[in-house]
Amino acid sequence: ISCVLQDGEVFEKAGVNVSVVFGLLSEEAARQMRSRGKSLKAKDGKLPFCAMGVSSVIHPKNPHVPTMHFNYRYFEIEEADGTKQWWFGGGTDLTPTYLNEEDAVHFHKTLKEACDKHDLKLYPKYKKWCDDYFYIKHRGERRGIGGIFFDDVDSPSKEEVFQFVKSCAKAVVPCYVPIVKRHCQDSFTPEEKLWQQLRRGRYVEFNLVYDRGTKFGLLTPGSRIESILMSLPLTARWEYMHTPPESSKEAEILEVLRNPKDWVH
């Protein structure tokens, strides 16, 4: 079930997907999972699976309001002998066009508080995982200023992991909406809008080249392509050999994308 807003006053494109899919895992998807260390024993080459999750991507109009993405999901596979493997995954991350330290600290602190309720080791671990995952290799930079990201979490117990995932999901509104309210009326120049479009191009590059969820969706027979590509912005731009001037606000955000920061200490 997809709900998408386009050309709104605050959001240029924003969407929420709630998906419950089940069937047989494609060979390509199974190969991807095995490459992550999953031991999957198929029966007659078939692996029944079910996956469910909620995801959202919000691309605001104003370049001073960051793009935000979150996704939380549960996956279950039935092996040849009838045993079931299950795991949770997900995360929440922020992609600003311009760096605002106060916003970055607020975002990360809110996510840290959600993680700390369960285990103090989780935030630093999942923050680093997020920085490593949302990495655009061919550009040598991250997609944004991170947040938290995790996958294949199957311990200590299903109920405990589910409670943790719920805490993370409940942190989405308080970590993001105050930032939107703070900046949605900010004035901006055509040059700032252009920089936003160029950064959106990077967002597209990551999602189409590296994002595991996008790849899995595109490889799932009968999946709804429009919903999978909902994460892409309405508009983006690629300019040949564009480099911002040194010491500019544009160069400032690039520095953080190349060298992730600790925002909460």
Residue positions annotated with a catalytic role = 69
- Please compute Rg for the chain using Cα positions: 19
d(CA 106, CA 102): 6
Element (H, E) at 167: helix 158-170
Phi (first) and psi of residue 222, to 5 degrees: 80, 5
Q: List b or e across 146-181, with b for residues whose CB sees 16 or more CB atoms inside 10 angstroms.
A: bbbbbbebeeeeeeebeebbebbbebbeebbeebbe
Sheet holding 11-24, edge to edge: 2-6, 11-24, 48-60, 67-78, 84-95, 146-153
CB 143 within 8 A of CB 206: yes
Residue length, the chain? 265
Element (H, E) at 147: strand 146-153
